[in-house]
Amino acid sequence: MEKILIIEDDAAIAAIERDYLAIEHFEVEIAPDGVMGIEKALRGGFDLILLDLMLPGIDGFAVCRKLREELDIPILMVTARREDIDKIRGLGLGADDYIEKPFSPSVLVARVKAHLAQYARLKKTDQVVSVQITIGGIIINTDTHRVYVDDREIELKNKEYELLLFLAQNADIVFNRETLYERIWGMDALGDSATVAVHINRLRDKIEKDPGNPRYIQTVRGAGYRLKG
């Protein structure tokens, strides 16, 4: 049985999330604040974390930063904030995706299932196939998850790595945001494709000499993105 940790200070919302996930046979625990959330997450063997951003004491951003240093599991932000800067900040700290309040419980469950399934597929692929992909000055080692650009190792968050790997495996093919969201996040029309744009921009900042004039990850106007081989 897969274990979900809910870090949420609103007891009513946490209870709704717990009940709907329990119906789907997930084992669920709740932490009402950031400090307890960190403690539970680091000792609990969870498979996924639902993390509210507006927490008392330590906010969700700080919690996400700490957890991502230690854990390689999906972290989904649950937030009432609609400002893009907050979403960009959370994704930049290592969150895999975000869900806006108010949300449909059925959509929440679908997003949780999709992220768990995508994470499991990635782990299975890692166990079966170990290859090195080289495109220009970029080297991706799928066994170690290490990425080098011009002989310099760069650090990528989970979804940044998955996105770069997918584009590299399909070099010179143009994908729109919706397709990339479906392929990397594992969901069809359930998420916000702005998540893709955030991750594309963060990848450019890390792998491009001039992110404003990218050599590798190019925007094809009106069509989407491609990684030029």
Give the CATH H-level superfamily of domain 3-123.
Response regulator (3.40.50.2300)
Q: Which residues contact 122 (CB under 8 A, 6 or more apart)?
A: 162
CB 67 within 8 A of CB 90: no
SS (H, E, C) 69-125: HHCCCCEEEEECCCCHHHHHHHHHCCCCEEEECCCCHHHHHHHHHHHHHHHHHHHHH
Split at pLDDT 50, 70, 90, the class of 101 is confident
What residue spans define the domains of the chain? 3-123, 130-227
Convert the pLDDT of each residue in 130-182 to its tens digit: 578 999 999 999 888 899 999 999 999 888 999 999 999 999 999 999 889 88
Q: What is the pTM of this model?
A: 0.70
Q: Where are the beta strands (DSSP E) in the chain?
A: 3-7, 27-31, 48-52, 75-79, 97-100, 132-135, 138-141, 146-149, 152-154, 217-220, 224-227
pLDDT given at position 63: 96
Q: Do the domains 130-227 and 3-123 match in fold?
A: no
pLDDT digits (tens, 9 = 90+) for 203-219: 999 999 999 999 999 99
pLDDT tens digits for range 148-162: 999 999 999 888 999
Mean pLDDT of 25-42: 96
Topology of domain 130-227 in CATH is Arc Repressor Mutant, subunit A (1.10.10)
